[in-house]
Amino acid sequence: MKKKNYIKYAKDVIDLEIKALKKLKKNLNNSFNRAVAQIVKCQSKVILCGVGKSGLIAKKIAATLSSVGTPAFYLSANDSSHGDLGSISKKDILILISYSGQTKELNNIIQFANRNKILLIGIISKKDSVLYNAADIKLLIPQVVEAAGIIPTSSTTTQLALGDALAMSAMKEKKFDRLDFRKLHPAGNLGAQLKTVEDIMLTGKHIPIVNENLKMKDALKIITKKSLGVLIAQNKNSKTLGIITDGQIRRFNQKKINILDLKVKDIMTKNPISIDKDALAAKALELMNSKKITSLCVYNKKKKIKTIGVVHIHHILKSDIS
């Protein structure tokens, strides 16, 4: 039996959606700016609702908004008519999604919003529709050709893209950065990649810090006790001067050089490679790999001369950072 090749059909579907997105891009106007401005200054919640495929898109947009600093949730159109309208307050923003603008299940929500003067943003394609006429801000998506003629594909792609554009624009205006993002995404691979050096570094008594004038016979006891394979040398003013690694010590032993009576400052590597505590842990791993080292001194950018922590490559790898 000859295998069928569906790639051409797949490309046709994708081409339809690309055309729809190009139309959407061309049609953007000041209504989009107004919608973003209202979302940014909203002091309560953004509530999204749709029915069928538009409902699934509404759920996704709500999740995206919430993840980038705008509290949002999805409201079921069916449940709203059975008590869930009570979850909407006058300070909320309602975003209703309907390709036709005539979805009957949304009528009760539209009436509730108008009756209580709740800001209503409509994402619709038809100007002569109930939702278009009721919306305070009208975000028009283009009328498009669907795959197979009727299956919501191109239309839902434009709805999703418009929702992403709203969320990203609001995020940019709020100056929502990676540190804010990390607070809302503490788990999983994404959370791991957003960890900072401060999250995983050793601090306080766990830092193997010694004075530059300490004899190596005593310093060796400390490097063994701390089990990090590294010593941080500083002067009496707590200024970081250098670093000693167990690799350096082994190389001295291989050369049969007696270091026991030497001082830390005699064998340390001056000006150790360091990193800011607010840098991403992934950046620390990249720095270690490029310099072929296993530990970094950590500083606060307000006082770079003092080591406030140590991060070892094992700490990074244990945190599933790559």
CATH classification at residue 62: 3.40.50.10490
Q: Which two tokens stand for residue 186?
A: 């503490």
Domain span at 235:
197-318
Residues 157 and 203 in one domain: no
Closest to 33 in 3D by CA, of 103, 115, 121: 121
Question: Would you say residue 189 lies in a domain?
Answer: no
Distance between CA atoms of 24 and 18, rounded to whole angstroms?
10
Q: Are strands 72-74 and 46-50 parallel, antiparallel or unpaired?
A: parallel
Residues 155 and 246 in one domain: no
Residues 53 and 126 in one domain: yes
Give the model's pLDDT for residue 170: 96
Any idea which residue has 């953004």 for tokens?
46
CA angle 25, 28, 32 (to 5 degrees): 130
The residue from 141, 176, 211 where one domain ends is 176
Give the model's pLDDT for residue 190: 66
Question: Would you say residue 23 lies in a domain?
Answer: yes
DSSP-assigned states of every residue in 61-115? HHHHHHHTT--EEE--HHHHTTTGGGG--TT-EEEEE-SSS--GGGHHHHHHHHH
H or E segment and range at residue 287: helix 281-291
Query: 156 and 25 in contact (C-beta within 8 Å)?
Result: no
Residues 147 and 211 in one domain: no
In DSSP terms, 240 is beta-bridged to 234
Residues 210 and 312 in one domain: yes
Give the model's pLDDT for residue 305: 83
Question: Would you say residue 191 lies in a domain?
Answer: no
Residues 127 and 158 in one domain: yes
Give the model's pLDDT for residue 132: 95
Give the model's pLDDT for residue 1: 61
Query: 132 and 101 in contact (C-beta within 8 Å)?
Result: yes
Q: How many domains would you assign to the chain?
A: 2
Residues 20 and 112 in one domain: yes
Question: Would you say residue 239 lies in a domain?
Answer: yes
Q: Fill in the DSSP letter of residue 29.
A: -
Q: What is the 3-state secondary structure (H, E, C) of 166-212?
A: HHHHHHHHHCCCHHHHHHHCCCHHHHHHCCEHHHHCECHHHCCEEEC
Residue type, 314: H
Low-confidence ranges of the chain (pLDDT < 70): 1, 182, 184-192, 322
CATH classification at residue 278: 3.10.580.10
Residues 205 and 149 in one domain: no
Q: Fill in the DSSP letter of residue 126.
A: -
Closest to 140 in 3D by CA, of 281, 48, 30, 47: 30
Buried/exposed code over 243-270 (b: 16+ C-beta within 10 A; e: otherwise): bbbeebbeeeeeeeeebeeebbbebbee
Question: Would you say residue 187 lies in a domain?
Answer: no
Distance between CA atoms of 136 and 117, rounded to whole angstroms?
10
